[in-house]
Amino acid sequence: MKRFLAALAAVLIVGAIAAAAGGGIAGASGPAAQERSSQGIVVGYYEGRDTAGHHIRFYVANHHQFQLTSFRINHVELGGILFEDAKFSHDCNAQDFCAHGHWTNSDHVSGGWRHRAGHTFTYTAHWVENWADH
């Protein structure tokens, strides 16, 4: 009788674990469940901070080619983001701000930005389900 109860308990535990794992996979919403570019980079919203605490955010799209849009440093929007492989840059020739970044894995970016006045900052950003209100 003890063996029967132990076997029944084991079956119930394994069934509960399998059900929980199946439910977690079906309802997954993290980077593993998101669309990826041809380079394996997670498409969507990214957010982070630089070394001085400035808010960094940008959006990664994949419309037949990889695009980086809406790159913001606090409330300053940069345009003309150039993307190649798993890195991007914003040229500073006629702009007040320059930025660059590269993916350190499929959903994390490291980079830096500089103000034409000479201040330079590094940042890290990661994939988020949606941007926070800032």
Give the domain CATH number at 113: 2.40.128
Q: How many domains does the chain have?
A: 1
Q: CB neighbours of 36 closer than 8 A, spacing ≥ 6? A: 42, 43, 62, 106
Mean local confidence (pLDDT), 21-36: 48
In a domain, 120, yes or no: yes
Mean local confidence (pLDDT), 18-42: 52
In a domain, 49, yes or no: yes
In a domain, 82, yes or no: yes
d(CA 111, CA 87): 9
pLDDT digits (tens, 9 = 90+) for 80-125: 687 877 888 887 766 688 899 999 998 999 999 998 777 889 999 9
Q: 60 near 66, Cβ under 8 Å? A: yes
Domain span at residue 55?
A: 36-128
In a domain, 30, yes or no: no
